[in-house]
Structure 1
Amino acid sequence: MIINLNQYRKKRRRTEAEAHAKENRVRFGRSKEERTAELRERERAKKEIENKRLD
């Protein structure tokens, strides 16, 4: 059986990149609860600034 080394290397690189991405998702990822809390805080701050605006 003949194996193309370029295809093998590409496949190996791809699987290593997927594993690295999975580790990063665990390490740096945030839960849905954290994302929604940040969104609410941003919206609250935006409204607060708008309310203090002088016309």
Structure 2
Amino acid sequence: MAEIVNLRRARKQKARTEAGKQAEQNRIAFGRSKAERNLTEAERAKAERHIEGHRLSRDDAPEKA
């Protein structure tokens, strides 16, 4: 004989599984600590300053004619 399946329970279990997958993706995307966010921001700012410091022509310097 076939196994009897309660459709309501099956739907709820499927919804829980999908919600769990979505939660895992959100934890990966947004679940960083404040220290990690600050570190990433500091690294980005340092890289930006480094690139800006090596720029050949600057907007604030007077151009030679």
TM class, shorter-chain normalised? 0.5 to 0.7
Deviation for aligned residue 1:46: 0.6
Query: Can you give the 5+ residue segments of structure 1 that lack an aligned partner in the other structure?
Result: none
Which structure has greater helix proportion?
1
How far apart are the structure 1 equivalents of 2:53 and 2:43?
15
Greater C-alpha radius of gyration: 2
**Over the residues paired in the alignment, what is the CA RMSD in angstroms?**
2.7
Q: TM-score, normalised by structure 2?
A: 0.50
Structure 1 runs (4+) deviating above 3 angstroms are 7-11
Query: Can you give the 5+ residue segments of structure 2 that lack an aligned partner in the other structure?
Result: 1-6, 58-65
Deviation for aligned residue 1:13: 2.3
How far apart are the structure 1 equivalents of 2:35 and 2:50?
22
Identical aligned residues as a percent: 38
Give aligned pairs, total. 48
Aligned match of 1:48: 50
